[in-house]
Amino acid sequence: MSKVIPGRFTAEVNEPFVVFLIGMRINMFFAFNKWVPTGMAMSPMLQSLYQNPDKGFLGGETFFYWRGVALIQYWRSFEDLERFAKNPGDSHLEAWQKFNRAIGDDGSVGIWHETYMIEPGKYEAIYGNMPVFGLAAATKHVPTMRRKKTG
């Protein structure tokens, strides 16, 4: 378990970056042969990205919810994300092709993603009494500057 750091912190990012949300939804619970391989496909991609920071992946977090799994990823640029997604030499394209062959439009498994391009100074990240987490783990974890109370 990660060490909790008492106090109030933020993430410091001085360059544009991308927040990429991606997930899988189990639509047919007993279709194990469809959703288990879909869920398992993410692990090799993440391992490759963590081992190759030059691809532009900064870091991320994984969350489980009632019907599936979601990841919040942080990328250096949209171009880096797109290059990874479309490069035949990277694991994403093969996983995407397998998903389309095995599931396609049969409705057993849902997939989704959202991409947000963020400019420096146009984000907020606050972590109170947390381990280094999220954007701060992917970039720079720094103490917040508290405003002095007036009046």
Residue 151 forms part of a structural domain: no
The residue-averaged pLDDT of 21-31 equals: 96
Percent of the chain with pLDDT over 90: 91
Task: Using pLDDT thresholds of 50, 70 and 90, give the confidence band for residue 2.
Answer: confident
Residue 145 forms part of a structural domain: no
Residue 63 forms part of a structural domain: yes
Residue 69 forms part of a structural domain: yes
* pLDDT given for residue 145 in this prediction: 81
Residue 89 forms part of a structural domain: yes
* pLDDT given for residue 29 in this prediction: 95
Residue 76 has pLDDT above 90, yes or no: yes
Q: Into how many domains does the chain fold?
A: 1
* pLDDT given for residue 150 in this prediction: 45
Residue 134 forms part of a structural domain: no
CATH number of the domain bearing residue 84 = 3.30.70.100
Residue 11 forms part of a structural domain: no
Percent of the chain with pLDDT over 70: 95
CA atoms of 125 and 105, how far apart (whole Å): 37
Each residue's pLDDT tens digit, 130-150: 999 999 999 999 999 864 444
The residue-averaged pLDDT of 52-64 equals: 96
* pLDDT given for residue 17 in this prediction: 98
Helix axes 78-86, 91-102, angle to 10 degrees: 60
Residues of the domain holding 122: 16-128
CA atoms of 89 and 41, how far apart (whole Å): 15
Residue 62 forms part of a structural domain: yes
Contact between 117 and 18 (Cβ < 8 Å): yes
Contact between 108 and 34 (Cβ < 8 Å): yes
Residue 35 has pLDDT above 90, yes or no: yes
Q: What is the mean pLDDT of the chain?
A: 93
* pLDDT given for residue 79 in this prediction: 98
